[in-house]
Amino acid sequence: MLEKLDLIEERYEELAKVIADPEVINRQEEWQALVKEHASLEDIVTRYRELKGINKEVEEAQGLLRETDDREFRQLVEQELDELKQKQESLVKEIKLLLLPKDPMDEKNVVMEIRSGAGGEEAALFGAVLFRMYSRYAERQGWNIEVMSSNFTELGGVKELIFTIEGKGAYSRLKYESGVHRVQRVPTTESGGRIHTSTATVAVLPEAEDVDIEISPNDLRIDVFRSSGHGGQSVNTTDSAVRVTHLPTGMVVTCQDEKSQLKNKEKALKVLKSRLLDIARKEMEEEYAQNRKSQVGTGDRSERIRTYNYPQSRVTDHRIGLTIHQLEDFLDGNLTEVLQSLAQAEQAERLQTLEAGLRFSD
């Protein structure tokens, strides 16, 4: 680990010289990339320099212990040595966390998709509950939410709903929500009082920007038609709804919520790009698939990740075995405790992998 940190410090010092070079400054695009890299190394270099200072103080204290027989002085030095070792341990932990590779998608906005699963109308109604939950969470964070495409049942349930959430670090917090969400409750559509189990699936995709995904117009087929409401009745007199088909993959995205054909097309392309980016990201991670299986938040849409039990006011996240008895509060968007626990669990898994790699390299 120390060798790796030495190389990082060398790179940091090298970058400091390069970004001060007037010739490099004149090449703005290159200069900005170098400045960004320099800033990304600052925290880890600062902690490493602190650690080197602490290591030196530890060596000096241990030297003093070897050189003195004075009992009182030894006690003072031993006390100081204990404090130094605690600082040393804390810094090593911080540095290991900083060494973990960052997900380049973490700072992106997200495209979320909710679909009803098993359970008919009750599953669709639960999908609407999930949408409200994420909407309330976004409000609490001061994020913006926009519906891209919707397909509701006559009772207000969600057959399919696609929406974006815009906010700093949105993907880093919400990426753990991908998977199957299970609800256990007495359906609002049934008077018999029997508890039913239904499901809805959630997909969380990092929002693609033009620099992330480039689509050739020749790869697209765009069809327009009239928007329809509940039961299939037409709600527009113009062909404003848009269906975009990506020919190489066969992927289809339909948007009809806007009255403007252009706006529907823009939304459909945004969803399509985000789905293609998600596919590309997963292909890049295939070599790490075995490792990721052991980690939290793999994003597997077939994985049952959480159960919402209404009779017991209980929410259980099956990936980390966490149960809270504050269902109403959770459904009102207070997701922070669970999302933080998921992030910490993934971090712990990644730390284990990092430490194993460092031991192997030693």
For residues 165 and 110, the answer to whether their CB atoms sit within 8 Å is yes
Average pLDDT in the chain: 84
Residue 235: which pLDDT band, with cuts at 50, 70 and 90? Answer: very low
Q: Is the pLDDT of residue 85 over 60?
A: yes
- Specify which of 98-102, 188-192, 253-257 reaches the highest per-range mean pLDDT: 253-257
Residue 197: DSSP 8-state: E
125-129, 205-209, 220-224, range with the lowest pLDDT: 205-209
As a whole number, mean pLDDT of residues 50-77 equals 90
As a whole number, mean pLDDT of residues 4-16 equals 91
Measured CA angle at 205 (ends 199, 208), to 5 deg: 155
Strand (E) or helix (H) holding 137: helix 120-141
Task: Write down the pLDDT at residue 290.
Answer: 44
As a whole number, mean pLDDT of residues 8-28 equals 92
pLDDT digit string (tens) for 105-153? 888 899 999 999 988 899 999 999 999 999 999 999 999 999 988 889 9
Q: Is the pLDDT of residue 295 over 70?
A: no
State the DSSP string of 80-109: HHHHHHHHHHHHHHHHHHHHSPPPTTTTS-
Alpha-carbon distance of 189 to 211, in angstroms, equals: 47
As a whole number, mean pLDDT of residues 247-257 equals 86
pLDDT digit string (tens) for 255-289? 887 778 888 888 888 888 888 888 877 775 664 44
Quick one: which of 239, 247, 170 has its CA closest to 206? 170
Is the model more confident about 97 or about 323?
323
Residue 346: which pLDDT band, with cuts at 50, 70 and 90? Answer: confident
Tokens encoding 114 = 């909710």
Alpha-carbon distance of 59 to 98, in angstroms, equals: 25
User: pTM of the full predicted structure?
Assistant: 0.65
Domains belonging to the chain, first-starting first, are 2-99 (1.20.58), 110-284+303-347 (3.30.70.1660)
Residue 234: DSSP 8-state: B
For residues 243 and 227, the answer to whether their CB atoms sit within 8 Å is no
